[in-house]
Amino acid sequence: MAGQVRNSHLCRHAREDGNHGADQERARLKKETFAALFQAAGKARAHSYAPISKFNVGAAFLTDTGNIYAGTNVEEAGFNFTIHAEQGAIAQMVVAEGRTRITHLVVIGGEPADGMACTPCGHCRQLLLEFAGDDLEIAAAGPDGDIRLETTLGELLPHAFRLSNILDR
Ligand code: THU
Ligand code: ZN
């Protein structure tokens, strides 16, 4: 599931009316970005195939090329080959654009009002690291759009083992 966020919109420089205006513009763009991601993640989550866990997850991220990719979890009876929401979205991004940088991610999980923050699991954090920096902004939201945790990939995966550990020797 891919969507387009108007590039000019996201990349537009903040109005030069002082820091306050720039801050406000940044906050507005962030809100707009997360709203678009929440919508895409929710749409994907509606198709979650989770007959075993009954835990429906939707994930959507924005790339620095202005595109949105979304995914949902897909389980199987043998338990070993579950596809996580983030993994599905990453696979679609690579098919469509190759290696692209992810800048913002929203993951939706849990039930209304349970307050649980569904963050990307360890495997997904490691996979995201191939396509994002420590500064990747991550919001864990409930199905009603309530953001339960705002964090970064660097916070979720500190002291990471990354590609540079094995390539830049
Ligand atoms: N799940 C995801 O889709 N992403 C994560 O990173 C956390 C876990 C899914 C996998 C499984 O279908 C369900 O949530 C319960 O673990
Ligand atoms: Zn995962």
- CATH label of the domain that carries residue 61: 3.40.140.10
As a whole number of angstroms, the distance between CA 99 and CA 159 comes to 23
Nearest bound ligand to CA 124?
2
Query: Which residue's C-alpha comes closest to atom 10 of ligand 1?
Result: 84
Check residue 168 and give its pLDDT. 75
> Mean pLDDT, consecutive 10-residue segments, the chain of 169 residues?
46 56 92 96 98 98 98 97 98 97 98 96 98 98 96 98 89
Check residue 7 and give its pLDDT. 41
Number of domains in the chain: 1
Q: Which residue, 120, 64, 123, 58, is CA-closest to 97?
A: 64
- Sole residue written with tokens 């108007």: 6
155 is catalytic: no
Q: Does some domain include residue 122?
A: yes
Q: Does some domain include residue 141?
A: yes
Residue 96 CA, ligand 2 centroid: distance in Å: 21
Check residue 18 and give its pLDDT. 65
> For residue 109, which atom of ligand 1 is closest to its CA?
14
Check residue 20 and give its pLDDT. 87
- Local structure of residue 37 (DSSP, 8 states): H
Check residue 5 and give its pLDDT. 53
Range of the structural domain that residue 162 is part of: 28-167
Q: Does some domain include residue 18?
A: no
